[in-house]
Amino acid sequence: MARWENEDVSHLNLPEPEIEEFKFYGLQGLIVHDDNKALAMTVESTGSSTKYYIKFTRGELIDPYTIDSNFKINKNIKYKKVSEKSFNEYLRYLKTKNRLYFTKSRRLAMEN
């Protein structure tokens, strides 16, 4: 054990570390607890704004109701940061299966 491991650093006025809370959203826009089943996620940090992410593959949003129905198997899937509007439209699409919301979300994501 090194001698500085138990040193008192309270006098340095260090800020508290930020705590991040992750929420994953799956089919039908429901909250899931497994990242492999998730299609979108939010990251809420203490003292900071919320960040929004949607899974992409082949440079496009994942469409779990058509071409990407087996999205859990594909390993080339990555999260991409999107705007809150794009995220909300995508969740709306997951809930309603209305392609209009998917198109809006995809267009908004391309603007980033």
Per-residue pLDDT tens over the stretch 18-71: 888 999 999 888 999 988 889 999 999 887 789 999 999 888 898 888 877 776
Predicted confidence at residue 23, as pLDDT, reads: 95
Please tell me the distance from the alpha carbon of residue 99 to that of residue 64, in angstroms, as a whole number: 12
Predicted confidence at residue 3, as pLDDT, reads: 65
Q: In whole angstroms, how far apart are CA 21 and each of 70, 75, 107?
A: 27, 24, 27
Question: Quick check: helix, strand or coil at residue 44?
Answer: strand
pTM: 0.81
- Work out the angle at residue 25's Cα, subtended by the Cα atoms of residues 68 and 54, and round it to the nearest 5 degrees: 60
Number of helical (H) and strand (E) elements in the chain, helices listed first: 2, 6
